[in-house]
Amino acid sequence: MKISPFKLLCGTGLFAIFSSTISKSPVLPLYATYLGAGPSGVGFVASVSAFTGIVASIPAGLLSDRIGRKRLLIVAAVVFATAPFLYMVVTELWQLALVRFYHGFATAIFLPVGMALVSDLFHGERGEKLGWFSTSMLLGRFMAPIVGGALIGALVFNPGLSYHVVYLVCGAAGIMALILTIFIPEPRRSSEEKQDWRQSLRTFRSVISRRDIVITAMVEAAILFSYGTFETFMPLFALRAGLSAYAVGVFLSAQVVTLALTKPIMGRFSDRHGRPPQIIAGATLGAACIGSFAFFGDFLPLLGLSVLFGLSLSIVTSATSAYIADLSERETHGSAMGILGSIMDIGHTTGPLAAGVVAASFGIGRAFFGASLVLAAMALFFLMTIGAAHHRHPQPV
């Protein structure tokens, strides 16, 4: 039975993101500590791959417009398949940082190019299909910490061995992603779509100069700024409120499940009812949720806010990527998604850094409130510059 390119891509996304996530959650901080790192060293190693995403997403998208999506997907899959085995020969912290930098290229390439390929394949149902693609990756992200934690727990008597076993599983998933990638067919490209480098740079400049594309990407960066604040400081906030580590795990898991279940639905909703109003509504809900964490300390209210914040993430991100694809031409989908990937990584990376400064000076509650202000301001800016002019989203190109 022939499997569709979209299903192959979703399967690749599941194994790729499972591999990427299990390499860092929960093993990375434990492995870094095992190698002698202190808190600052752990934080530095954890941030290296995010930096790779900031610098590599745009070139990856541009290259995929120039030489084709499949070639870039194979490059990403090769990194997914090889990087895990490098962790097993690391003996120094700087070596671990180098491996994380190399491993970061996999996700930095795969995400924008994968979204560009989905945008190429679908038009009227683009939001829904991007939602299913995201859900496949969220399933991998959900399963990875469970599997990694179980392996580390089962081999707790020998930490060094447990880390190596985790990275063997990580490598097996990366190899599976590579195998599936090989079978993804390269979409046909007309002679008009094939560009030389001068044309590619010209089309990229045309995309980066589009105010509506950049502002839409900034909204996603703002909600990931808030999400970075949430995932970094909510566990500390909950533990200080007297809740258990188990309760924190429930909050995080419930949020991932909410995202996985609702993204295709929210993507389909944006296909039918328009992207900008959905982006504004989701960002407004997210701002209200992240700001409200500071006012509660009991299990049920924090669980409810975690679920609602996950829903706001779903509402926004299922519409932003589809809207950016709508606004760009087919031959520039890679560049557009690269811009989105780079800007959202900036938001995701700077959120914990800025929130850490605020939390150290004024407390964790004020950090949540600061993230809320950033997201609310960005929602208002989007409404004033784009939302008012777009009662319906433009027809996909």
Integer-rounded Cα radius of gyration of the chain:
20
Q: Using one digit for the tens of pLDDT, what is the confidence trace for 321-350?
A: 899 988 887 777 888 888 888 888 888 778
Q: Using one digit for the tens of pLDDT, what is the confidence trace for 83-137?
A: 999 999 999 999 999 999 999 999 999 999 999 999 888 887 899 999 999 999 9
Which tokens belong to 114? 């994968």
Q: Which CATH architecture has domain 1-184?
A: Up-down Bundle (1.20)
| Percent helix / strand / coil, the chain, rounded to 5 | 85, 0, 15
- pLDDT value at residue 180: 96
Nearest CA to 142 out of 9, 258, 316 is that of 258
Q: Can you say whether the dihedral through the CA atoms of 303, 307, 308, 309 is positive or negative?
A: positive
Mean pLDDT of 241-261: 83
Mean pLDDT of 22-39: 84
Nearest CA to 280 out of 394, 372, 375, 396 is that of 375
Q: Can you say whether the dihedral through the CA atoms of 237, 240, 241, 245 is positive or negative?
A: positive
- pLDDT value at residue 117: 92
Mean pLDDT of 221-230: 89
- pLDDT value at residue 312: 95
- DSSP state letters, 270-283: HHHH-HHHHHHHHH
Amino acid code (one letter) for 189: R
Backbone φ and ψ of 125, nearest 5° = -110, 30
- pLDDT value at residue 263: 92
Burial (CB count within 10 angstroms: exposed 0-12, middle 13-18, buried 19+), residue 238: buried
Is it the case that residue 195 has pLDDT exceeding 80? no
Domain with CATH 1.20.1250.20 in the chain: 1-184, 210-390
Is 292 within 8 Å of 312 (Cβ atoms)? no
Is 83 within 8 Å of 174 (Cβ atoms)? yes
Burial (CB count within 10 angstroms: exposed 0-12, middle 13-18, buried 19+), residue 197: exposed
Q: Using one digit for the tens of pLDDT, what is the confidence trace for 143-193?
A: 888 888 888 888 878 888 989 999 999 999 999 999 999 999 877 654 445
- DSSP state letters, 33-95: HHTT--HHHHHHHHHHHHHHHHHHHHHHHHHHHHH-HHHHHHHHHHHHHHHHHHGGG--SHHH
Q: How many Å apart are CA 302 and CA 246, to the nearest integer?
A: 13
Question: What kind of fold does domain 210-390 have according to CATH?
Answer: Growth Hormone; Chain: A; (1.20.1250)
Is it the case that residue 229 has pLDDT exceeding 90? no
Q: How many Å apart are CA 65 and CA 61, to the nearest integer?
A: 6
Q: How many Å apart are CA 259 and CA 147, to the nearest integer?
A: 20
Q: How many Å apart are CA 51 and CA 353, to the nearest integer?
A: 13
Stretch among 292-301, 351-360, 373-382 having the lowest mean pLDDT: 351-360
Amino acid code (one letter) for 168: L
Nearest CA to 181 out of 15, 388, 385, 391 is that of 15
Q: How many Å apart are CA 134 and CA 146, to the nearest integer?
A: 19
